[in-house]
Amino acid sequence: LVRHAHHLGCKDILFACATGAVQGMATMGLGVLTDQINLTGHNPLAEWDELRDVDTPFVGMTEAYSSYLRGIALGVAQDEGIALQQGVYAGVLGPSFETPAEVAALRAMGVSFTGMSTVNEVIMARALGMNVLGLTLAANFAGDGSVTHQSVLVEAQKHADDFEKLVRGVLAKL
């Protein structure tokens, strides 16, 4: 998907994901990603022989998420009266939800949001020279024993209108 968008001439790309909020670092609700930690055990650039359009597998990730695009999102959120928190995202393999010990480790690493996607797509987008905006909906507290897939869907629905306004507002400014 990322390589296809690149082939179509896309320079900026927006990734959206549902995440768990790490208590003490984030709350449930909408957020913008500032950085990431890849804990998936995978990197799309590791299969170098199969990559096209990438000059080198050694890609700088210092600004994985564009501060310029993040600024646009924060401005749209302010204009629309949408609460938008910022934080570091940790991508984990999943599909199981996090254990309390995993959440404690993530908190110690400075993680605000945890999820099961996005990090590898961001790595590929950066390798292709694309600017990345990462948006999230923290739909549960990470490590909460009562969380279910259904409860995540219910929480997501509560924020659907604000999320749509945010995305449409960002796209209108690009």
Work out the percent of the chain whose per-residue pLDDT is above 90.
82
Per-position DSSP letters for the chain, written without gaps between them: -HHHHHHTT--EEEEEEEEEE-TTT--SEEEEEEEEEEESS--GGG-GGG--S-S-S----TTSS-HHHHHHHHHHHHHHT---EEEEEEEE--SSPPPHHHHHHHHHTT-SEEESSSHHHHHHHHHTT-EEEEEEEEEEETT-TT--HHHHHHHHHHTHHHHHHHHHHHHHH-
**H or E segment to which residue 34 belongs:** strand 29-39
- Whether the pLDDT of residue 14 is over 80: the answer is yes
The band of 48, judged by pLDDT with boundaries at 50, 70 and 90, is: low
Dihedrals φ, ψ of 150, to 5°?
-65, -40
- Tokens at 102, concatenated: 């995993």
- Whether the pLDDT of residue 55 is over 90: the answer is no
What average pLDDT is seen over the chain? 94
Q: Which of these ranges, 25-29, 51-55, 94-98, 150-154, has the smallest mean pLDDT?
A: 51-55
Query: Which pLDDT score, from 0 to 100, does residue 95 have?
Result: 87
Query: Which pLDDT score, from 0 to 100, does residue 49 have?
Result: 67
Q: 103-125 pLDDT, tens per residue?
A: 999 999 999 999 998 999 999 99
Query: Which pLDDT score, from 0 to 100, does residue 56 have?
Result: 80
Section 82-96 average pLDDT: 95
Residue 11 makes CB contacts below 8 A (sequence gap 6+) with 129, 130, 131
Which residue is catalytic, options 50, 63, 80, 98? 98
Section 145-160 average pLDDT: 92
**Contact indicator for 89, 4 with CB cutoff of 8 Å:** no
- Whether the pLDDT of residue 60 is over 80: the answer is yes
Q: Compute how many other C-beta atoms are within 10 angstroms of the C-beta atom of residue 30.
A: 19
Look at 74 and 4; give whichever has higher pLDDT.
Answer: 74
Active site residue 98: yes
